[in-house]
């Protein structure tokens, strides 16, 4: 039988693989997409460190000992927000560099042969 743990682990794996592949593409937007996928993977990984718990959110009640781990959740919460900050900065950076140079390539061969796309 498939376990939840397996689903999460494989999802982390697939997201990482896709993220790495996309981050290695030659244009800014793909790199941004790759970073987005990688962020999902990393957040999920961090979350998984706290182990999977169903239906027991970390809301304190006296005497309860069986609950989801609050600490990874707090870390992931800030990670999600900071991911947005990072994505926004990278997106803006790539937009500005595109406007500045007319090319959205990051492979070091910015020879302007894509001027046609930019129009």
Partner 1 sequence: MILFVLTILPFLAAGALAACARAGRGVQFAIAIGTSVAGFVLLAAAAPTVLAGTVIVNRIAWIPAIGLDLGLWLDPLGLLFAGLILGIGSLVTVYAQGYLAKDEATGRFLACLMLFQGAMVGIALSNNVLLMLLFWEMTSLSSFLLIGFWRDRADARQGARMALAVTGGGGLALIAGLLLLGQAAGSYELATILMRADIVQASPLYPAILLLVLLGAFTKSAQFPFHFWLPHAMAAPTPVSAYLHSATMVKAGVFLLARLWPVLAGSDYWFYLVTTTGLVTMLFGAGVALFRHDLKAILAYSTISQLGLMVMLLGFGTGAAATAALFHMLNHAAFKAALFMNAGIVDHETGTRDLRRLGGLAALMPVTATFGTLAAAAMAGLPPLGGFISKEMMLEESAHIAFAGQALLVPVLATLAATLSVAYSLRYALALFCGPTRTGAVARPHDPGLAMLGPPVVLVAIAILLGLLPMTIAGPLVTAAGGAVTGGTAPVLHLALWHGVNPALAMSITAVVAGALLLWRHRALAAILPAGGLPDAKRMFDATMAAVVTHVRRAMLAVHVASLQRYLFMLFAVAVLLGIDGTMTPGGMATGTRTTLPASPVAIVAWFALIAATLAVVVAHRHRFLVLVFISVIGLVMALLFVRLSAPDLALTQIAVEVVTILLLLLALHLLPKTPRRLSGTPRRLRDGALGIVAGIGTGWTAWAIMTRPVRDSVSAYHWANSYSGGGGTNVVNVTLVDFRAFDTMGEIIVLGIAGLAIYALLEPAARGAAGRRLRAWRKDMPHSPERHPMMFVMATRLLLPLGLLVGIYIFLRGHNQPGGGFVAALLFAIAILLQYLASGFDWTDERRRIGEHPLIASGVLIAVATGLGSLAFGAPFLSSSFGYFHLPLIGEFELATAMLFDTGVACVVMGAVMMALQQLSHVAQRAARASDRHDEDAA
> Which of positions 31-60 make contact with partner 1 (CB under 8 A)?
31-33, 36-37, 40-41, 43-45, 47-60
47 near 72, Cβ under 8 Å? Answer: yes
Picking from 11, 42, 117, the residue whose alpha carbon sits closest to that of residue 26 is 117
Residue 55 has which token pair? 């239906």
Residue 27, helix vs strand vs coil: strand
**Residue 112 binds partner 1 (CB under 8 A):** no
**Residue 71 binds partner 1 (CB under 8 A):** yes
Closest CB 19 distance from partner 1, rounded Å? 8
77 near 69, Cβ under 8 Å? Answer: no
**Residue 108 binds partner 1 (CB under 8 A):** yes
Judged by CB under 8 A, the residue of 63, 96, 111, 112 near partner 1 is 96
**Residue 66 binds partner 1 (CB under 8 A):** no
């Amino acid at each position: 039988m498939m376990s939840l743990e397996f689903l999460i682990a494989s999802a982390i794996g697939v997201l990482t693989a896709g993220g790495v592949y996309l981050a290695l593409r030659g244009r800014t937007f793909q790199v941004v997409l790759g970073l987005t996928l990688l962020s999902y993977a990393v957040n999920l990984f961090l979350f998984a460190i706290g182990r999977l718990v169903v239906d027991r959110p970390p809301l304190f009640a006296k005497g309860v000992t069986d609950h989801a781990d609050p600490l990874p959740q707090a870390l992931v919460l800030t990670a999600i927000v900071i991911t947005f900050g990072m994505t926004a900065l990278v997106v803006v950076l790539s937009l500005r560099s595109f406007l500045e140079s007319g090319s959205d390539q990051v492979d070091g061969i910015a020879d302007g042969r894509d001027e046609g796309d930019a129009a």
